[in-house]
Structure 1
Amino acid sequence: MLKFNSELTINVKLTYSNDELECFKLLELCPDVFGMRHTKKFKGFLFSRKSVDGALNNKHNVKLRNFYSNPPSIPNHSLLCSDVDINQSPMYCAGRYNKFSRALPQSPWIIKGKRRFNTSVQELFSKDVQALFKAQDYTFSSSGREDVDVRMLGNGRPFSIELINPKRTKVPQKEIDDLMERLNKEHATNIKLNDMQTISKDDLKYLKEGEDSKTKIYEALCVSKKPLTDELLSNLTSCIPLVIEQKTPIRVLHRRANMVRNKTIHSMNITAVPHSSTNQTYFCLNLETQAGTYVKEFVNGDFGRTTPNLGSLLNDPDIDILALDVLSINLDWPPKKKYS
């Protein structure tokens, strides 16, 4: 029998009222399988397709003749078609997004049935993409995520949308571009979409494979109670590349396993920010880090759960972070657009 994968699947459900009655001989033929199921008062249909196929494939024709007549008796009921289900294989739309708001989560934030924020990055455009492809449903995923109060600037964050059972399988790139332009105008204060396009399932592999190998560039506004001396700044740059140990941050312990992660800081530099305060020093911290580094905790130390941290390197345990931006996610994805 030839087997092949099809993008369109048609499932036809056929029912026959005497199915179980005609299968009852299997209780004698395979007592080790169906006898046990019958004794345990198996819930539902006693003879599933999988169990019957498995039993018959292991029996010789000679043994079957002892239990079933040849030729078989004429059925006294018709075979009925009870349902026809048509499904299209998923399609995938990908791109990159910028987030400009410090009060916008990436996905719906619902705690104990109550929303914390009115909307999310995902909700601002995923439903529109679903409608364009006339899909039954969708699944949103991305290359990592930023905190609610963190902006995603620069080249944006890669994302993909799996479109489940789409009715449109050939959507011109111009329609995708038009949708992207409209959404960027509607949500200009919150997000911006870039490089939206249809991709193949194989293209998703590189998105996942790049999770550990990619690097990210951050910019953070920080505050210190001590002045930044040339000696301290020199010590800071001389320790690069820097491997740090991070226990799962306290703020995410409720949803992530408590473990230690080793992450690498690839580059780090500090620029003083002029300010009228006489007892505090404000500075801009630029970092290039391994993906998965908790930058906030690297700055504030997270009560010693991240070591070394910026406070220990600058000999100031009171250093804190005021604002954080992601400037770049160094992952060449999605693929270049293929216009149709």
Structure 2
Amino acid sequence: MEKNYPLPHRFFALCEVLAVFFAGSLLAQMLFQLAGVTGHPLMALMGDSPDMVAIALDLSKLLMLQFAGWFALIVFFSWMNSEKLKAELKLTRHGYQFIQLVVIGVLAWCIGDIANKAVFLLDQTYDLGTSVPWREALLNGEKTTGWWLVMFVGSFGLIPVLEEILWRGYVQSKLIRFFSPVVGIVITAGLFVFSHAQYHQLDLYHASTIIGLTISALALGWITHKTGSIIPAIVMHALLNFPTAGLFLYVTIGLMVGISAWQWQRIRAFFADVLQPQAFTHFSLTNVALLLAGVAAMFTLSQAPALILKLSIACVAIAVVASIAGLVKRLRNKSPV
């Protein structure tokens, strides 16, 4: 039976998640300075004859430092809250065989990525809009070995692992505990989608991309919750981000349709599980308000980065006070009467 946590507990859980993201971003900035990292490596893609191998190496360094800032705070709050980190982050097979988890990830990709592929198809036909310059330069770049190395680091190799540990491993696990599975998955999806600042533009291309990304994020969240492992989400995320263009896009869509037809019974059972009426009873006005507050905070960060310090201080203060209060309560409960 699910616990019905009061509003302050749910608010504190959301504040901890935002504290990790905002304060972790600041911590990462400090690590960048210590490591001598200046600027974003992908901006070099817009220059003449960019060194793709050097860009891939610089991007690897930047990502490891960036996620180190977030993971350091995850470890801190997990210690404060007496949580077992490996289980908390879903870094287990949870009783499944590895191949089973891979298959689940592939099937979820066939469902969750179809909206994104539809956007790519429409964009190829009707030109829905233009992405940010560095992304356009990357997508349209010559497919050399260096280009594939950059894509491996920044798209379908390293990024899926790091992002799934952060979002589905930490954020979703934290929110599900204090809300409900469906609400936790939806809030995590909202935060995940709007943390991608490159899509924060008001045109048809980016609006369509946000919708497709939201559907994918919900599928990522659901398979993580149902399996208790982030392995399927990593597999699905890698397939989502794998570059497809031209004829290969049509081949990929054909493969997705073929797999879906072959495994239709499993997919139908998946939808029946997801769309149970009782799953939506947890969407109270309060939960919706907290979701919108979290999404607004992510959007504000991309539009007004100068506010990150104020947001960090506020969220960290609330999260630390809540963690200390929980620690004191646990110590009292362990004390002999």
TM over 0.5: no
Instruction: Compare the two structures and name the one with the higher strand fraction.
Output: 1
TM score, norm. by length of structure 2: 0.21
Structure number with bigger Rg? 1
Tell me: higher relative CO, structure 1 or 2? Use CA pairs within 8 A at least 6 residues apart.
2
TM-score, normalised on structure 1? Answer: 0.21
